[in-house]
Structure 1
């Protein structure tokens, strides 16, 4: 169990449940019936709109044939990741003064500047102007040696 958790920790348990249902050719309704968890709740968990409770996790463990506590542990790792991402987002609350077009492939206003610091630096150093490189150097307090 630990090896699998290490590989998938940080993802929402609903994504893994959905994968398992597909592998086992089970529907959400069948899982709802076997666990006595309302279908709407199962659907919301799989869509990532709702987290698993310990009780739900234990029922799903049993039905899908996982070791007791597997989905509860997966939910805990997801919660930890969400907390850390939120903490990182609070480090840099304003975006650096660079062109939004450097990040054409993502929503510039939703970039977590702390979490993706290395990727941001790499992209700006590869594609940015001299002024943008200086701005990123200042923004992240990088020392240029």
Structure 2
């Protein structure tokens, strides 16, 4: 556990599970030895539950780990989860004109499931700013696949369509 950057963004429970296995410690006896429910520790090691700071300190003390390592891992993991949520859900909606989607409720668009129709609509009727945001959100490769292009410039629609 000497280099924290190697584990940055990984759930601390997975790191804890690895550490317990490396030391040949079983989860249940270890959990009972630190006064914790075995089910709680199991959920944490499976990545299904976050690691509270108080429990992280108990574990670090018991395993003679550097103080705060597991809490920092939990923080890095939370940051990564939040960033993924922000980037995966929707593009920056303020950059799109709602009039492009006159035939549907703009606020109910499913940007993940309806990506083909959305990409085609934006590239048929959108402006450069809208196209750039769409490329940023979906990625150049995905946009090119939908538009049936092989050229590196997705701003130019191919003549085969």
Which interval holds the TM-score relative to the shorter structure?
0.5 to 0.7
Aligned residue for 1:87, secondary structure, equals helix
Q: State how 1:1-145 maps to structure 2 within 5 Å.
A: 4-92=3-91, 94-95=111-112, 96-97=115-116, 121-122=140-141, 128=145, 131=148, 137=154
Unpaired runs of at least 5, structure 2 = 92-109, 118-133, 156-161
2: distance between equivalents of 1:73 and 1:43? 20
- Kindly indicate whether the alpha-carbon contact (under 8 Å) linking 1:89 and 1:115 is maintained by their aligned counterparts in 2: no
* TM-score (structure 2 length as normaliser): 0.61
Which of these two proteins has the greater Rg computed from alpha carbons?
2
For the 8 Å contact 1:91–1:114, the answer to whether it is kept is no
**Relative contact order (C-alpha < 8 Å, sep 6+): which is higher?**
1
Question: What number of residue pairs does the alignment pair up?
Answer: 118
Moved over 2 A (4+): 90-93, 113-117, 120-125
CA deviation string 1:44-72 (max 9, x = no partner): 00111110111000011112221111101
Given that residues 87 and 137 in structure 2 are in contact (C-alpha distance below 8 angstroms), is that contact kept between their aligned partners in structure 1?
no
Evaluate the alpha carbon distance shift between residue 88 and residue 66 of structure 1 in structure 2; reply closer, same or farther with a 3 A threshold.
same
SS at match of 2:154: helix
Unaligned runs of 5+ in 1: 99-112, 139-145
Measure the CA separation in 1 of the matches of 2:137 and 2:29. Answer: 40
The whole-number CA distance in structure 2 between the counterparts of 1:73 and 1:121 is 35
Give, in angstroms, the shift of residue 94 of structure 1.
Answer: 1.2
